[in-house]
Amino acid sequence: MNQQFTPAASAVMGVMVSENHNVSPPFGEALFCRRLTLAGARHHLKVYVFTAEGILGDGSGFEGYQYTRGKWINVSFPVPDIIYDRVSYRDPRQLQLTRQKLAHITEAGHQFQYLARGLSGKWNVYQSLKRRKIFLPYLPKTAKYKDSRQLARWLHQHDNEVFLKPHSGTHGKMTLHIRLVNEDQHLMLTGRDRNNALFQKHFHEWETGAAWVDRFIGERAFIIQPYLQLTDSDGRPFDVRVLMQKNESGRWSLTGMAVRLGEKDSVTSNLHGGGTAVEAGRFLTLEFGESAAEMIFGTIRRLSAEIPEYLESCFGRLAELGIDFGIDRKGRVWIIEVNSKPGRSAFFQIGDQMSARKSVENPVMYARYLWLRQLRRVNS
């Protein structure tokens, strides 16, 4: 007998996050998860939080956390209707193992939906975007990093400066700006390590510096790009973060936009690396003038409207995207990165209350939209 369809009924969303035993509660994004819980209560959606370690091996359910009466408590809970995956996977094997554990849940007869499937790394996103002509003028030249011979060639071809970043990295970690001082072949390196700490190194010999770069990269997959001057008039790196999300109707909409401004001499503008958020309109107008700022905004809005549906056609269902745009000193717009597990703290920092609220409520309302759609199918 089919369950009666009642739109006011509650669905259950499980938010899968990374484990972190150095904090309390012992998982990442606790503040965001608390906000999701409170938003869920307003929209008939019960929210639990769990890590991959909390998926029970027999497929019977989960162990995790629930925010109630102002604190996090340990709970066991049944298989959620929707799983919202917020984990930043260190390597493809970690993703595969987690997906296998969740597949056992389905094999045991418990059905759930993923809120989104997610993107599969910077190189794959670049390869997809460059297949569409509308995006080509805004994509920096990009290649997989191979070895020091390729590095030497790229430095020669791109004014002695290149930028390396990991294929699957987040928050600006393990990024590297390499500059060749051509007269004497010195290598100047500025980057961030795996803990997001800023470092600088100077090598007097090419061979020594190139060998250090290879050790820094190790076995991880990296991409290489020309170094773009994406800095403000004071030399501070900045980008424009646009948050695109699906709403309660399952349609893409622009939630908000903010400038992320890094420290001088830093290689990134990420908030996790010490950057700050500022209101985009005022900042871009001060930097480029009102007329140029309007053109920049127009380009960013047009690209932001096109990117989500196109990437969805390439990678499967998505729920939200953080799209990072760089703007060089000539006012040219560049698509720097697209992230399917974006942060949203920039909107809280700049006091954009509407965007901040929507950034939390949209995943909740889209989860409920997916659940109701499935419920209608079951009851039709």
Residues contacting residue 130 through CB under 8 Å, at least 6 positions apart: 136, 139
Look up the pTM and report it: 0.92
- Whether the bond into 25 is cis, omega within 30 of 0: yes
Among 205, 226, 247, the domain-final residue is 226
- Give me the pLDDT at residue 171, please: 72
Mean pLDDT of the chain: 91
Look at residue 79 and tell me if it is in a domain.
Answer: yes
- Give me the pLDDT at residue 15, please: 98
Instruction: Verify that 180 and 220 share a domain, yes or no.
Output: yes
Query: Helix or strand or coil: residue 350?
Result: coil
Eight-class DSSP state of 195? T
- Give me the pLDDT at residue 320, please: 98
Look at residue 207 and tell me if it is in a domain.
Answer: yes
- CATH number, domain of 89, equals 3.40.50
Look at residue 378 and tell me if it is in a domain.
Answer: no
Instruction: Verify that 347 and 234 share a domain, yes or no.
Output: yes
Look at residue 2 and tell me if it is in a domain.
Answer: no
Flag residues of the chain having pLDDT under 70. 1-9, 183-184, 267-274, 378, 380
Instruction: Verify that 135 and 151 share a domain, yes or no.
Output: no
| Residue 49 structural domain | 11-114
Among 226, 241, 260, the domain-final residue is 226
pLDDT in tens, 29-70: 999 999 999 999 999 999 999 999 999 877 778 999 999 999
* Cα angle 70-15-113, degrees, rounded to a multiple of 5: 140
- Give me the pLDDT at residue 9, please: 64
Among 226, 250, 265, the domain-final residue is 226
Instruction: Verify that 60 and 161 share a domain, yes or no.
Output: no
Cα gap 348→361, rounded to integer Å? 14
Instruction: Verify that 240 and 270 share a domain, yes or no.
Output: yes
Which amino acid, one-letter code, is at 330? K
Instruction: Verify that 307 and 352 share a domain, yes or no.
Output: yes
Q: How many domains does the chain have?
A: 3
